[in-house]
Every structure is written in structure tokens, then in C-alpha cells.
Structure 1
């Protein structure tokens, strides 16, 4: 039942390689968190087994997904009121030939930031977030060595997204240690938001049985992987963290509930504008580079692009996480598309691969490896978002965000490797 075969040993290579890469990039190689590494990988394996083996737990998590989807749907009501059919409402004034095109990032994702900012400010004013933070602190301090505020942001990031999660602890951000701040950015890139999980599951539903369960599980179990790799690269300094005391009520105050909603919305608007503008620039630069490479490729008679080059580079990594070698070039290309463009584009590409053209094991593992926000555009999103949330630490963030992208990228690959270690029967449901 729990046999360990050659394909499982192959995934073990991926685990070792990813940990070695992060150790080599560490700011202090003499402080490798062995206990955390063993604990996180054990928790990941148990979570995957539990999520696919315990119907009650899966139902509970699906309930959380429904709640997050409800938040997105409520946000869309406001968007539709302002922008009408441009928000992607069912009642369109023209015949649709491609319903998928109704998912517009500017109308589906960015407005959620506004709503989350307003809610976070209101919940902060009511002291609810302060109490929740203290509760998370008790649990995560004893399990992964996290303090309450970053623990809350980590949990929120799993469902809300890489910028929306830290918004919940905005008042704490200036006093976080370097390790904690790096960890937040890394976890944000290792997970996806609840609003995009539904889109990914929809894209994969025809080629991957149980696509929704896999996507939801992938985002959840990649959070501990992000914590681990972040702690390896920027080790925790407990003495510094203990010396930085929190004053949760002094950093942010509002005069009333209405004042909290208005100021939260105003703060969110700043983040939305920065994120949207930065995305345009980063995606445009990648497209520009691809045009240059394409012109060079035409001269030498070979198709060149950033994604194709990264596909060749990442083929060994795809094999190491457990993908059969005959699928490794395609899987490596998907990793390249995810890193240079977005995981959204990579999922669309994989969704277009016929069922019989890719091994089922490869497709499952790549679902986990692709399910994270670690890409070039997210570097811009984090720079823009954190520059508003904690402007006094912008220079520090500029120096760590690319390293966080690498850690987030490898975190999803580590998750795929852990999944590859498990019995195939557990992943078939």
C-alpha cells in the first residue's frame, strides 16, 4: 500500500537538490534549521495524505474556499456597479466566443485588494485582528517558531494573496525582523490567492481528475515549504526578534469604523495603482526581450525565447521532482513559462496539452510545481505593494525580493517533490 519505488526515489533527489540550492544561497550557512526542515516536510506529507484521505477535512477546507470565493463575488458586485459589463458579468451586450476572456486581472484581482484593505482596517479598529494575532502566535510559535503577526499574515496569504495577506498586519510590518519580512515575501510567492484557485481548477478540470482539490491542496502545503526555504536563506535571529517588542495598538489608530473603512480603502487604492502599473511594465519588458530573441532566432534558423531557454535549463529540475524524463522538456518549459510570464499562462498551456500527451503523474506533479506566484511580474507586485505598506524598508525589500522569488519558485517545486514521495494511490482521488 505504501510501497516506495524508483519514481519515489527520483523525487527524493529533488528534495535534496532544492535544500542544497537554498543552503548555498544562505546568508549564514552554519545555521541550517534541521529540525524545521524535518518538521515541515513531515507536515507537508501528512497534510497531503489527510486532505486526500479525510473527507471531513477536505470538506472543511472547501468551505474556506467557498468563503474566500464569496468575498471575491461580493467584490465583483461593487466592480459591476462601477464598470458594468466590463467586470465580466454574465449579461454581456455581445455574443461570447471565448468565455475565459471575461477573467480580466484589472477587474477580478485588483479590486479584491481594495476590499481586503478596508476590511483589515475595520477589523483592526475593532481589535479583532489583535486577538487573532495573539491566537496564531501561540500555535505557530510552538510549531514553526513564528511570532503571532507573521503567522497571521502567512495564514492569510494562503487564501488572500501575496499583497493582501501582509495587509492584515500592516501595523506590525516596520518592526518585523529581516528574516520575518523575507519569509512573508517568500510565502506570498509560494502560494496563490483564493480568487485565482477557482480559475486554475477550471482550466485543468478536463485534463486532471480532482483538479480543484489538487490546486487547493497545493497552495496550502506550499506555505510551510516557503517558510522553510526562507529560514534557510535568511536564518532566524531569535535574539533580535525577542528584542523587537510589539505594540499592536500604537502603530495604527482610527477615529471610528467609518474612518477605518475610508482610510483602508485609500491605502488599498495606492497599492492597486502601484501593482497594476508595475505589472504592465514588467510584462512589457519580457515581451520586448522575447521580440529581440525572436529576431536573432530568425537569423540563425532557430526559435529563441526566454521561456524556451528556461525550459532547457529547468528540464533536469522537472525530472528531479519526479517527472518522467520523456516529459521533462515539456515540464521544464512550463516552469520557464511560469517564472517569466505567470503561473496563469503556464496552467493554460498545460491545460491545452492532450490527456494522452502527458503522463498522469507528470500532470499532477506539475500542478503542484506551478501553483505559486513566483514570477518576474510578482517581483514588481511585491516592490509596489510593500513600498506602500512599509515605505521605510523599501531599500531592504529591493535587496531581497529577487532572492524571495527564487525561494518561492523552489518552494512549489519542493512541494511537488514531497507529493512525488507519496503513494500514487493517494493522489488518484
Structure 2
């Protein structure tokens, strides 16, 4: 049933599109057909995936597969690290079972295993067929040319830099609009390996977390394409006609070779994620230490998270989130932008059930599920400098705008999900409290019982 809370999410749809139109390089070239089509595609996909029994059963199957993958990964971690992996058999008395959840042993190893499996599926041509199928869909439904359509589809599964590898030889000939679109879509989506990691983080606080994370990454691609085309409109005369020939950079000699090389690629991702989290969390802790010198305000120290909560609270409300949860949700949006989505997901998982509304948690899962953050700016510049060195200066000039497009794309996706009736996701709507006029500088949400890094 369509309610006021669903209508509220329409504000987020209009806001994301409106901001990009206001900052467009050519406001007169607004792609009306693409705007209507992209939003409709997102809505239809959500309704189909969660409304049709067969597809809903498939999504639940994905959740069971993720649980099985996580359990299997823990078996390998326990073999290497023993009781440090959080196994039930501990050499000491456990007074806080939640403390056994260690990010380095429970989440990062999942990335290794998924990367190895992805390489194996690519060698068996299964993932290649899926990617090419999605590429055809993007080409036919959103008017993309062959090479950008294939790269967009690959980005959904492989990641923001790995996806464009499949059209590496075409990157120098892409138009400025197409190149910007690839940057924006890369920051609007996540990779297959991190999807499983996010689902592992959220599974204790969000029912069927894997289904939501998978859906979020897929439907954020059309949002990224739309907002990119609004900010940097397409110029047909700048597009050079080319014949699509998928790159063969990812070639493996055998299944074992695929597993080994995939694990090696996963290791570089794990080290990058771990290093980024350590550095950015440390920097924010330094800033919080400085802000702490200001003393307590409304019963708690001033912190980066609380300030971000105030700044982004109106945006969070526009997604369809009740005002009581807006400061907390706004803080998560700010953390995602400044500290990466990994940190934001970890902090949302640390919020105990009941502290925020279940609807808020679902919407925020979609809003956080994207690579649009400050760290990704550096990752994209470094990656594209290798893939297309002759366009490095052009990329540096567009990458910050692409980060904004990717950030707003996940907000657009979250708003579309917010428009959907709560019953679609298997929950009853929560009574909404009376709104207040402005967000307060409230303390950070109470920590959950489970310890997080």
C-alpha cells in the first residue's frame, strides 16, 4: 500500500536528479526519456526481484549461498589462524561472544575466496556470458554503445577499475561523456567480492542482507548512467563508430591457474581495503581528538560523525527516512563519503535493532552500497592512468564530479526503494513520530552488543 512515507521518498528522486541538472554542463540537453526510463527500470527490477515468487526465491537462495560461502571461508581461516578466527573452541573463557567477530578474520577473507571463485567462473565462461548479457541489456534499454555498455555491465560484477579493463583498447576513443559515465557508474556500484563482504557484515541486523546488497549494486548502474548523462550530456558527433571485440586480458591456463591468480588479485584488494580503513579511521580519530577539545555539547563530545549527521540529515530524510532517524542516517552517509562504505556498513551493523527503524536500515543499505568516496578518487586516477594514460589529465578534471554523481546515484536508488511499499520487503510499516523542525546535535547511537573494529 502506498503511504506518506513512500511519497516522501519521491523528494529524494527529485533532489538527486535536480542537483545534477543544476550542475549540468548543458541544462538544455536534459535526457527526459532516459530519466523516465532509468527510474522505471529500477522500480520494475525491485518489484520483480522482491515481488515475483520465483525471483524472490532466487534472491533467498543467494542469501543461503552467501551464508554457505561465509561458513566455508571461516573453515579456511580457522585452519590458518586457529582460534583467532572466532571459532567456538576458545582457549579461554569467553565473557563477550561479540568480541569474537574480528573484521580482519571474518570479512576480509571472504574477498579472497570470492575473487578466486570469480576468476574460476570467468575461466569457465559463465561470468563472461553473464557480463555480456547485461551489456546487451544496457545497450538496448539505455542507448549505450557496445563498448561502454559492456564495461558498465562488467563494473557491476568486477569493480570500478576492473570493469573498464574489458574495453581497454577502446578507452582512448570514447567520448568525454562516455568516459565520465564509466567513472560515475564505477562509483555508484560495488564489486562482487565486496557485495559478499557487506552481506556478511549486515546479516545479523538485516534479514536477507545478501538480496538487498546484490539488488542495490545492479539497480544503481542505471542510476549512475542517468546522472552521468545529465551532468555531462551525450554528444553523438563525438562518438567514433567502433566494432566491439572484448578484451582477453583475463586469460587463465587452467582452473587451478584461475584460482591461484584470482586469490592473488583478491589479496591486493584485501590489502588495499585494510590499509584504506586503517588510514582513514586514524585520520578521523585525530580530527575527533581535536574537536574533543571543544568540550561536550548536549551531553556528548563533538565529533566528525555528529557533524556529518547534521549536514546530511535533510538528504537522509528525503530518501524516505523518518526524521527521528535522520541524524543517524545522515551520519552514515557522511561516513560513507569520507571513510568508505565499509566503515559505514560496519557502523550500521553496530546499531542495535530498535535504535533505528527497520525501514531506515533497508533504505540505508541501498544508499551506502557504492564506491563513491574520497579514497575511490585516488583509486580511479591511479587505475585509469594505467588503462588510458593519454587521458589522465581529462580524468583528473572529472573524477570529483564523478564521485558526486556516484554518491547521488546510490541516493536515487535508495529513494526508488523507499517509494516501494514496506510489505514488498516482508515487513509492516512502523508508526511515524511527529517531525521536528531541525536535527539536534545528538550523541552517537548506542553501540551494539557485538564488538566491531
CA contact 2:20–2:227 (8 Å) conserved in 1: yes
Is the deviation greater in 348-357 or in 402-411? 348-357
Go from structure 1 to structure 2 and tell me whether the alpha carbon gap of 1:118 and 1:355 turns closer, same or farther (over 3 Å shift).
closer
1:166-203 per-residue CA deviation (whole Å, 9 max, x = no partner) reads 22222332222222222122112112222222232233
**1:409 and 2:407 are equivalent in the alignment:** yes
CA contact 2:62–2:210 (8 Å) conserved in 1: no
CA contact 1:68–1:195 (8 Å) conserved in 2: no
| Deviation at residue 328 of structure 1 after TM alignment | 0.5
Aligned to 1:173: 171
**1:39 and 2:37 are equivalent in the alignment:** yes
Go from structure 1 to structure 2 and tell me whether the alpha carbon gap of 1:22 and 1:406 turns closer, same or farther (over 3 Å shift).
same
Q: Distance in 2 between the 1:69 and 1:148 partners? A: 36
1:263-313 per-residue CA deviation (whole Å, 9 max, x = no partner) reads xx9999899869956984796367336514532441455534433322211
1:18-417 matches, cutoff 5 A: 18-60=16-58, 85=81, 98-101=99-102, 103=104, 109=111, 138-241=136-239, 243-246=240-243, 248=245, 258=253, 280=275, 284=279, 287-288=282-283, 290-292=285-287, 294-299=289-294, 301=296, 303-417=301-415
CA contact 1:271–1:385 (8 Å) conserved in 2: no
| Deviation at residue 423 of structure 1 after TM alignment | 1.5
Give me the TM-score of the superposition, normalised by structure 1.
0.80
**Higher-helix-fraction structure:** 1
CA contact 1:183–1:226 (8 Å) conserved in 2: yes
Is the deviation greater in 395-404 or in 32-41? 395-404
1:235-254 per-residue CA deviation (whole Å, 9 max, x = no partner) reads 1122222x2424638x8799
Equivalent residues, number:
418
Q: Distance in 1 between the 2:48 and 2:368 partners? A: 22
Go from structure 1 to structure 2 and tell me whether the alpha carbon gap of 1:269 and 1:153 turns closer, same or farther (over 3 Å shift).
same
Go from structure 1 to structure 2 and tell me whether the alpha carbon gap of 1:420 and 1:109 turns closer, same or farther (over 3 Å shift).
same
CA contact 2:377–2:403 (8 Å) conserved in 1: yes
Go from structure 1 to structure 2 and tell me whether the alpha carbon gap of 1:132 and 1:54 turns closer, same or farther (over 3 Å shift).
closer
Q: Distance in 1 between the 2:169 and 2:67 partners? A: 26
Go from structure 1 to structure 2 and tell me whether the alpha carbon gap of 1:137 and 1:18 turns closer, same or farther (over 3 Å shift).
closer
CA contact 1:136–1:148 (8 Å) conserved in 2: no
1:11 alignment partner, one of 9, 12, 18: 9
Give me the TM-score of the superposition, normalised by structure 2.
0.76
CA contact 2:316–2:329 (8 Å) conserved in 1: yes
